[in-house]
Structure formats: C-alpha cells, structure tokens
Amino acid sequence: MLTKFIQSLEDPRKPLLAPNYWMLTKTGLILPPSKIKRTIYITIHEIVTLFVFTQFMELYVIRSNLDLVLTNLKISMLSCVCIVKSNTCVAWQHHWIEVIEYITKADKEERDNANLKRSIILEKYTKYCRFITGFYWVLVFSTFITVTHTPVLQFVSSRTFRENLLNGTEPFPHIFSSWMPFDKYHSPGCWITVVWHAILCAYGAALMAAYDIGAVVMMVYFGGKLDLLRERCKDILGTDYEGVSDDEAINSIRKLHNSHVLLVKYSKLFNSLLSPVMFFYMVMCSLMLCASAFQLTSANDTAQMILMAEYLIFGVAQLFLFCWHSNVVLYKSQRVSEGPYESAWYKASIRQRRCIVLLLAQLQKRVFFTAGPFTNLTLSTFITILKGAYSYYTLLRK
C-alpha cells in the first residue's frame, strides 16, 4: 500500500524528487506562493517552537526526579533538532529551492540523454531513493505510534500503575512532559493536553520525515551524479574506442568540466544548509542515545522498555542514514577521476590529452558533507558518536 502511495506521487516534472518534494510542501518546509498560506505555515512552525520551550520549562519543574528528567530531556532534545530543521529550512528557503531546482534540471538532462549504461545507473538510484523514502517513512510512523501509545501501553502492561492511577496516587500519564497553563492531570485539562500532544507529535514526525529523507535523497543524487560523470568520462573519446576529432573531444570535455563545476558548486551550497543542522543534531544525538540506553537498561515495565528501544533504534538509524550516504558520496568523488583513465586516452592526440589533464584537475575536487566546521559526515564519525554516547552512559551508570 505504501509503495502504491509513493507511486501515486510521481511527477514527470520532478522524476527523482517528486515524493520528497510533495512531503516538503505538505509540511510547510517548502512554503507555498500564497502569502496567506505562507503565513499560516510559518505560524504553525513557531507554535511548535513555542511548545519546545514549554518542554524545557517543565524540565525545570521536575529537576529533582532523575528518571523524569532523562525522559523529558531525550524527547526535548529530539524536539529541538526538529525545530532547528524546520526553522532553518524556512529561513534559508531560497537556497533550498535553488538546490532542488538544480537537482531536478540536472537529473532530467541526464535522463533525456542517457545511453544504456547510464540508464541503468539512473534507474538504480531512482529505485533506491523510493525504497529509502518508504523505509524512513515507516520508521518515523512506527516511532510516532510508539510514542503516542506509550501511556496506553503503560496502563495495560502494569497492574500496579492501573491501581495507582485509579486511586489517585499516580498522576495522569502524558505523551510529552511539558508545561501547560492549566491543570493537566485532571479532566478536562488532561484530555486537552493529550490531544494537543498527539497533534504536535504527528506534525513533528511529519517534519522529521520530510526533512531527513529529503536531504538523504539529495545525497543519493550527488552520488549518482558522480557515477554518471565517471561513466560519461569513459566515452570521452568515443564509445567504440576508435577516437574522435579534436573539436568533438574538446566539446565533450567542456561539458563534463561544466557539469562537475556545477556539481561541486551546489554540493557546497547543500552542505552549507545541512552542516549547521547536522552539527547541532550530532551533539543532541549523543546525549539522546545516552539517555535512551540508560533508561532502557533500568526500565521496570514493558511500556517504558518499548519506548526506549524505539527511541534508540530511531536515533541510531537516523544518524546512520546521514553518515552512510555522505560517506558514499565522498568515496564516489574520489573514484570519479578514474573515468578518463578508463577511456581510449592512449589514442588521443596531444591537444586532446592536454584537455583531459585539465579535466582531471577539476575532477580531483572532492564532494563531501560536514557536521559544522569540525568533522566530515562519515562512518568513522558515526562510530565516534556511538562511542561518545556509550561513554556518557557508563558515566551515568556509575
């Protein structure tokens, strides 16, 4: 059913980004042209931002209870990451649209001029983008269901909790721990709070799903584009290795050079938009994973264990997706310069070889993504963050 839904979002105007662009527009990360709708979406984003502040207000109120503090803290940190993503995306709207337009235009040009080998590459990374989009949407949805149903699971799984709740010794459970301007533990305030938290949780999950997988698909595109460039470099002097004229070779080299220049330019622009967010996320992720692991090992009831396990899986999967695909792009950018060596360069004239050397100088420029000015997004960074989270965890255990 999910596959059919994603297929229904296909748009020939955006053959690669159609489902992701649809999600970005529906969540308001890409604002509509109408001023009224833009204002509504911006207002919603700021309401969500205000809600995150109420979570930290509640954190001060419950500061004496370590278990409640850890539960609030890990959810608040994830909420912080969510509002940073949404607000930066809205603030840097023009640049995000510029990157999306480049990817759409360059991808369509490749599809319109593809041969058999390049068509296989295009089909491969398009199918992969659809798969990873569906996978991440399911992951986010399952996390949303787990979070919103945790109070119910707690009520069903623990007899002691049910008895304490009914006799009034246990406070009414909520999805989030946040400050409210009324009594949130008794009716009708408790039910208003439940509905409010459920709505915000759904919208926050949608924001995460739209932003994260949109960024990952763009990373996949940059990796696919590097594969296509390498494949085109193989044909730089003709597809049958019989050689071409100087004018034909220079024209091909010029196109490849310009294509790589644009790729480097927009990958840097994309990185400038993503890098500050990823730096903030990595700091928050280390603490969030630490808190989730600590509560998972010290949980006493089934509901809490399920919630902690889901949070831990979601946090690790989210971080891994960014680091893995960024690492793939870096690896492919290091291999793209091998393309000209796989061509019939030995049959080229002196003039053609000089032009190939200039092209090789351009292809040496690396495409990579960073988390702030401190580190690249790679698998080694992913492992370092897990080690850091484990160190925090052992510190809490002691």
The single-letter DSSP state of residue 171 is P
For the chain, how many residues are written? Answer: 398
Q: Assign 221 a pLDDT band (cuts: 50, 70, 90).
A: very high
Across the chain, mean pLDDT equals 84
The domain segmentation of the chain, as residue ranges, is 2-397
Per the listing, tokens 């053609």 go with 352
Mean pLDDT of 322-342: 90
pLDDT of residue 395: 65
Residues 276-322 pLDDT 10s? 998 888 877 777 777 666 666 665 666 666 667 777 777 788 888 99
Which strand (E) or helix (H) includes residue 224?
helix 189-234
Taking CA atoms, 57 is separated from 50, 188, 358, in Å, by 11, 22, 59
Q: Assign 382 a pLDDT band (cuts: 50, 70, 90).
A: confident
* Start-end of H helices in 92-115: 93-112
The answer, yes or no, to whether residue 242 has pLDDT greater than 70, is no
Whole-angstrom distance, CA of residue 368 vs CA of residue 381: 13
Structure tokens at 323: 């680091």
Whole-angstrom distance, CA of residue 39 vs CA of residue 53: 21
Q: Assign 67 a pLDDT band (cuts: 50, 70, 90).
A: low
Contact status, residue 148 vs residue 201, Cβ threshold 8 Å: yes
Residues 18-35 pLDDT 10s? 999 999 999 999 999 889
The single-letter DSSP state of residue 366 is -
